[in-house]
């Protein structure tokens, strides 16, 4: 009986986490859509094009970076955390690796365009990383 209750609570927890993650992805997608809509209001065609390119470039770089880390390190790291060999902080450290790779890869003109439009580019990059991780886990990309 106790095992049944534990299974139920575990499945309920997973369902709640999945729901929260889906809400987070939805929010990030809405934020991206809003950003694209805002850039459409910019008068300068060149500036608008640069911002659109920056958004899509960030999405592409984030997806490729997260997939690379997932393919090379993340699966084993999650299993090591589950087995108690590694700490959850080691797993969290992978998002910092992804963040640094993305920042290094992004062209300065794109980063500057995003700063002018978003303000906190670092937070946007971190949110994009989290969304990509979740998409990979759910098999969306």
pLDDT digits (tens, 9 = 90+) for 50-66: 888 999 999 999 999 99
Residue 46 confidence class, pLDDT cut points 50, 70, 90? confident
Residue 140 has pLDDT above 60, yes or no: no
pLDDT at 62: 93
Task: Look at the alpha carbons of 110, 114, 116, 120 in this order and tell me if their dihedral is positive or negative.
Answer: negative
Long-range contacts of 42-51 (CB under 8 A, 24+ apart): 47/113, 50/109, 50/110, 50/113, 51/113, 51/114, 51/116, 51/117
The ranges assigned to domains in the chain are 2-137
d(CA 129, CA 58): 10
Residue 43 confidence class, pLDDT cut points 50, 70, 90? low
What percent of the chain clears pLDDT 90, i.e. is strictly above it?
23
Find the Cα–Cα–Cα–Cα dihedral 49, 51, 54, 55, rounded to 10°.
-110
Task: Mention every residue, 6+ apart, whose C-beta is less than 8 A from residue 25.
Answer: 131, 134, 135
pTM equals: 0.64
What is the tally of helices (H) and strands (E) in the chain? 6, 0
Question: 113, 51 in Cβ contact below 8 A?
Answer: yes
Question: 32, 60 in Cβ contact below 8 A?
Answer: no
DSSP designation for 73: I
């Amino acid at each position: 009986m106790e095992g049944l209750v534990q299974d139920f609570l575990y499945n309920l927890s997973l369902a709640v986490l999945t729901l929260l993650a889906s809400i987070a992805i939805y929010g990030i997608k809405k934020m991206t859509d809003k950003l694209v809509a805002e850039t459409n209001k910019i008068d300068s065609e060149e500036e608008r094009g640069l911002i659109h390119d920056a958004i899509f470039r960030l999405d592409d770089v984030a997806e490729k970076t997260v997939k690379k880390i997932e393919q090379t390190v993340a699966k084993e790291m999650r299993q090591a955390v589950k087995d108690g060999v590694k700490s959850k902080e080691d797993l969290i450290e992978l998002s910092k690796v992804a963040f640094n790779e993305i920042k290094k890869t992004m062209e300065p003109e794109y980063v500057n365009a995003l700063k002018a439009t978003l303000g906190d580019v670092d937070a946007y990059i971190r949110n994009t990383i989290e969304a990509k991780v979740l998409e990979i886990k759910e098999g969306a990309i």
